[in-house]
């Protein structure tokens, strides 16, 4: 009810809100926002090689002209792609089980597209799959998406399809006419598909030899990742040749992991590690985040960050006042960042520590600092015991606040009034 909400609002105000105006505020004001979901792309392939070849030559080069977040974590659960969309559009956590896209599609939200519509933006999603997959058609209407270009908007043939559907290169090419038809400024979100489990690719599209391990999944993953890299490069070429490039900020984010723990042996072989520990597992949940702004050289940002931070960051760059918003993330260019990134399984990362499976690790070295953190079997070093155990409680608290908002549809009781000058 309303009382429950006021406790949550106080928490958010004190812990996850940063209203500081920085020199990045409004740098992209009035520009188009192009957002690309990079299906199943994990950060370990970026600036990495296979058979002595770069896996993602274009994405590697792009780091030099973007803000690239190298310690950015996905926070999804069972809802996979839909969770990643839910988190970044609302700055709420994914649910601990199920997908809010199915279970809470009728809730009241205050999403990025809804907010940008008030700023005169046109909003669209482009994705060559059935519109009802993940209940997107229902959810998108509720989240303020004006146009959803789904499979019906594309010419899909046997020739231009593989695995889950239309190949990404073809998808971007056929999307251009829709993008060009949108009134500016627009917020257009593209969801890619080819780099999806089981990572099948036609021979003619494979420009990298497979890895050689007992995991066919991992072996093929590198090839579809390379294909995605080429598809993104082609998309950038389309944006440049149509002049859209200069008028847009381009944000690209990995949605979730592609390689599960089931393939740990093969992954260990590739990473040249004897075993994949819980620490390694958490570090493998890093996914790329690129923010490309015309005229900005960008930089590599090493601060920890997560998908809940996307919404406040985008609003900051677009110069939108979000002082009445309720976010569980903070602006990634602000000085008062949150102290932790929480994963939905209860693991979390701070600047100094990484907590997973009741064990506290040094974030940089992976060294075990304390075990059985939550059952208070203390290591004897008070400082270390404190850091992981007190933060552990806050992480649980914060995620349960987000869950309460969703389960109770609590935004019904909140007035998202904004300062009008
Ligand atoms: C389906 C695509 C993939 O439309 O977004 O979904 P996923 O299986 O990754 O959640
Ligand atoms: Mn996905």
CB contact at 8 A, 305 and 341: yes
Calculate how far, in angstroms, residue 224's C-alpha sits from the geometric centre of ligand 1: 15
Beta strand pairing status for 348-350 and 340-342?
antiparallel
If one residue of 37, 74, 80 were mutated to test the ligand 1 pocket, choosing by the most ligand atoms within 8 A of its CB, it would be: 80
Closest listed residue to residue 189, CA positions, set 314, 98, 309, 69: 314
Calculate how far, in angstroms, residue 357's C-alpha sits from the geometric centre of ligand 2: 25
The reported pLDDT for the residue numbered 384 is 54
Within 8 A by CB and 6+ apart from 420, the residues are none
- The average pLDDT across 233-247 equals 98
Determine the Cα–Cα distance for residues 39 and 256; give it in Å rounded to an integer.
Answer: 7
Query: So which residues are the catalytic ones?
Result: 81
Determine the Cα–Cα distance for residues 119 and 320; give it in Å rounded to an integer.
Answer: 8
pLDDT at 327 over 90: yes
DSSP 3-state of 349:
strand
Closest listed residue to residue 135, CA positions, set 109, 97, 102, 89: 102
| DSSP at 92 | -
Structural Rg of the chain based on CA atoms: 21
What is the atom index within ligand 1 of the atom nearest the CA of 130? Answer: 4
Determine the Cα–Cα distance for residues 172 and 176; give it in Å rounded to an integer.
Answer: 7
Kindly list the distances between the CA atom of residue 41 and the CA atoms of 59, 199, 275, 380, in Å, as whole numbers in the listed order: 11, 11, 22, 40
**For residue 269, what is the enclosing H or E element?**
helix 264-271
Q: pLDDT tens digit string along 92-108?
A: 999 999 999 999 999 99
Confidence of residue 1 (pLDDT cuts 50, 70, 90): low
Angle between helix 310-317 and helix 80-90 axes, rounded to 10 deg: 50
CB contact at 8 A, 222 and 211: yes
What is the atom index within ligand 1 of the atom nearest the CA of 196? Answer: 9
Determine the Cα–Cα distance for residues 370 and 359; give it in Å rounded to an integer.
Answer: 6
CB contact at 8 A, 149 and 124: yes
Long-range pairs for 400-405 at CB < 8 Å and ≥24 separation?
A: 401/8, 401/11, 401/12, 401/328, 402/92, 402/93, 402/328, 403/93, 403/95, 403/96, 404/4, 404/8, 405/5, 405/8, 405/92, 405/326
The reported pLDDT for the residue numbered 159 is 97
> Residue for token digits 């992954």?
267
> Residue for token digits 């999804």?
76
Q: pLDDT tens digit string along 293-306?
A: 999 999 999 999 99
Residue with CA at minimum distance from ligand 1 atom 5? 81
If one residue of 79, 193, 200, 260 were mutated to test the ligand 1 pocket, choosing by the most ligand atoms within 8 A of its CB, it would be: 193
The reported pLDDT for the residue numbered 92 is 98
Beta strand pairing status for 359-362 and 353-356?
antiparallel
What ipTM score was computed for the predicted complex, to two decimals? 0.99
Beta strand pairing status for 165-166 and 186-191?
unpaired
Looking at every residue in the chain, the average pLDDT score rounds to 95
Instruction: Report residue 393 as tokens.
Output: 């409680």
Calculate how far, in angstroms, residue 410's C-alpha sits from the geometric centre of ligand 1: 28
Confidence of residue 390 (pLDDT cuts 50, 70, 90): confident
Q: pLDDT tens digit string along 182-220?
A: 999 999 999 999 999 999 999 999 999 999 999 999 999
Determine the Cα–Cα distance for residues 279 and 77; give it in Å rounded to an integer.
Answer: 18
pTM (global) more than 0.90: yes
Determine the Cα–Cα distance for residues 39 and 194; give it in Å rounded to an integer.
Answer: 8
């Amino acid at each position: 009810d309303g009382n429950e909400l006021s406790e949550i609002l106080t928490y958010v105000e004190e812990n996850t809100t940063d209203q500081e105006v920085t020199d990045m505020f409004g740098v992209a004001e009035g520009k188009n926002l192009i957002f690309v979901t990079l299906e199943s792309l994990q950060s370990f392939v970026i600036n990495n090689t296979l058979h002595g070849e770069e896996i993602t030559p274009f994405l590697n080069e792009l780091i030099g002209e973007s803000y690239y977040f190298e310690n950015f974590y996905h926070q999804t659960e069972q809802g996979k792609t839909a969770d990643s969309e839910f988190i970044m559009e609302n700055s709420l956590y994914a649910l601990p089980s199920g997908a809010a896209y199915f279970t809470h599609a009728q809730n009241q939200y205050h999403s990025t597209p809804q907010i940008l519509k008030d700023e005169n933006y046109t909003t669209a999603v482009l994705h060559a799959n059935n519109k009802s997959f993940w209940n997107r058609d229902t959810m998108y209407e509720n989240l303020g998406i004006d146009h959803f270009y789904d499979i019906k908007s594309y010419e899909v043939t046997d020739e231009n399809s593989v695995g889950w559907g239309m190949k990404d290169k073809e998808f971007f090419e056929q999307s251009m006419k829709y993008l060009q038809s949108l009134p500016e400024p627009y917020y257009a979100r593209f969801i890619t598909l080819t780099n999806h489990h089981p990572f099948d690719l036609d021979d003619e599209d494979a420009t990298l030899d497979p890895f050689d391990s007992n995991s066919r999944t991992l072996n093929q993953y590198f090839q579809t990742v390379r294909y995605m890299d080429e598809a993104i490069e082609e998309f950038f070429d389309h944006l440049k040749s149509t002049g859209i490039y200069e008028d847009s900020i381009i944000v690209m984010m990995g949605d979730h992991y592609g390689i599960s723990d089931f393939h740990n042996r093969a992954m260990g072989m590739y990473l040249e590690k004897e075993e994949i520990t819980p620490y390694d597992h958490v570090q493998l949940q890093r996914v790329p985040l690129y923010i490309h702004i015309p005229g900005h050289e960008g930089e590599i940002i090493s601060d920890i960050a997560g998908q809940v931070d996307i919404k406040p960051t985008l609003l900051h760059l677009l110069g939108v006042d979000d002082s009445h918003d309720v976010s569980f993330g903070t602006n990634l260019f602000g000085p008062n960042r949150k102290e932790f990134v929480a994963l939905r399984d209860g693991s979390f990362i701070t600047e100094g520590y990484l907590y997973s499976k009741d064990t506290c690790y040094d974030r940089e070295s992976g060294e075990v600092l304390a075990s059985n953190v939550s059952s208070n079997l203390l290591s004897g070093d008070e400082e270390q015991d404190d850091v992981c155990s007190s933060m552990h409680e806050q992480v649980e608290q914060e995620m349960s606040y987000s869950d309460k908002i969703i389960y109770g549809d609590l935004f019904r009781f909140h007035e998202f009034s904004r300062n009008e000058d």
